[in-house]
A and B are shown apart, each in its own frame.
Chain A
Amino acid sequence: EAQVTQNPRYLITVTGKKLTVTCSQNMNHEYMSWYRQDPGLGLRQIYYSMNVEVTDKGDVPEGYKVSRKEKRNFPLILESPSPNQTSLYFCASSLYGLESEQYFGPGTRLTVT
């Protein structure tokens, strides 16, 4: 089944403890992206990647890192999480950039205390 998977789906952690949220797609998509969703703010793009070893900042990249070593994987890294990073995170992928449809993962709900 064609899909975007994220792990973990739920995570509660403490301030400053490094964490990684994994994202994987099995559709051979070139474009992958991370978003955070907060009530009243909609979705905001964190980072995106046009292809392997190519990543670019979105609207809210501060406090996050990403890497794209393989086409299928696009992990989101929080080196030192803070409470203002408590949010619902979505990974998405598309075949070629934004001209093609983005497929979204199920989301990861992160709480930083």
Chain B
Amino acid sequence: AQSVTQLDSQVPVFEEAPVELRCNYSSSVSVYLFWYVQYPNQGLQLLLKYLSGSTLVKGINGFEAEFNKSQTSFHLRKPSVHISDTAEYFCAVSEGMNRDDKIIFGKGTRLHILP
């Protein structure tokens, strides 16, 4: 069965500094991978997704993630964060290639931007 581990529950970072949010997954088959963002008191919004092809995926708001099959990781990065990036970020995995549209989310990482 698939699972997702977000290694950091909270990440503080100074404004304009780079950030990496870590995500590892486990699955016995090929997977789809996602990063979602949740701003305070809102629903979730898709940042980016990996289905197949290039392992470097670019998303909205300047975020990107790299799929590493050998390390079963899908870390999210941004070269320079802004105060508006303050939010909770969720990594998720699905075994959708097998037509199983069940999705498993990680427990989330809160990104705190320090002035």
Q: What residues make up the interface of A, taking CB atoms closer than 8 Å to B? A: 31, 33, 35, 40-45, 48, 50, 56, 58-59, 90, 92, 97-99, 101-102, 104-107
Q: How far is the CA of A31 from the CA of B102 in the complex (A)?
A: 11
- Kindly list chain A residues whose C-beta atoms are within 8 Å of the C-beta of B99: 97
Which residue from A33, A41, A44, A97 sits with its C-beta under 8 Å from B96?
A97
Q: What residues make up the interface of B, taking CB atoms closer than 8 Å to A? A: 6, 9, 32, 34, 42-46, 49, 51, 90, 92, 94, 96, 99, 101-108
Decide: A42 near B43, CB < 8 A? Known: A48-B101, A97-B96, A98-B32.
no
A90→B43 contact, CB < 8 A:
yes
A106→B32 contact, CB < 8 A:
no
B51→A99 contact, CB < 8 A:
yes
B43→A106 contact, CB < 8 A:
yes
- Kindly list chain B residues whose C-beta atoms are within 8 Å of the C-beta of A101: 46, 49
Instruction: List 20 contacting pairs A-B, 8 Å CB cutoff, sorted by A.
Output: A31-B101, A33-B103, A41-B107, A42-B6, A42-B90, A42-B105, A42-B108, A43-B44, A43-B92, A43-B105, A48-B102, A56-B101, A56-B102, A92-B43, A92-B44, A98-B32, A98-B94, A101-B46, A101-B49, A106-B42
